[in-house]
Amino acid sequence: MQFVEPIRDVKKISQIKNQLRWQWNIRDLLMFELGINSALRISDLLSIKVWDVFEDGGIVKPHFDLKEHKTWKKHRVTITPKVHDTLVQYYNTYPKVVENDENYLFFSKRNKFRWWDNITRKEARVLISKRCADVWLIWNYWWHTLRKTRGYQARKNWIPLEIIQNKLNHSSLTITKRYLWITAKEIEDACNKLDL
């Protein structure tokens, strides 16, 4: 398995989101925001349908549950305020998608917008890699980058490892620690910060 990088700099996250907003690419903006904030694996993210996030009349749900493809564990996804605002934009931007609650949220733009078909993992990989490259993140940024970014930023913001483990739906704390991959530079910075 190839190593995938998280987005470590929150300024880069903001730059990507701003580019997507400027281009009025609300579908990709939503995938980026929901991917980071939910910590879902790409297969689970791409399987989300309109009825998962919207109630009748376009009301955004506060959360939704899904069963993960890999682990078959239940995962509760909380709709954060920023994701909520983007979902409202999405609802207003893509009325043909939301008119059928069976449509995939991350619809395909192949063959004249196939609302009933979701984008592929390959398309998602290209999308994420390209968006990261646009802000000079050019190493290994793929599908898992969004999920890893959530874990990394949570740890950086002093969220307890047990909560991160729960959010990532890992079976043990050992897996979470290995997943977060602490760099030598971070260890050095921590030592210098706590210089007793």
Catalytic positions are: 41, 70, 144, 147, 170, 179
- Is 96 in contact with 85 (CB distance < 8 Å)? no
Which has the closest alpha carbon to 118: 134, 126, 106?
106
Which has the closest alpha carbon to 44: 145, 185, 147?
147
- Is 170 in contact with 32 (CB distance < 8 Å)? no
**Consecutive H or E run containing 84:** helix 81-93
Q: Where are any strands of DSSP class E within 42-170? A: 63-67, 74-78, 107-108, 114-118
- Cα 182 from Cα 179, distance rounded (Å): 9
- Cα 118 from Cα 103, distance rounded (Å): 8
Output 60-66 pairs: Cβ under 8 A, ≥24 positions apart: 60/84, 60/87, 60/88, 60/91, 66/40
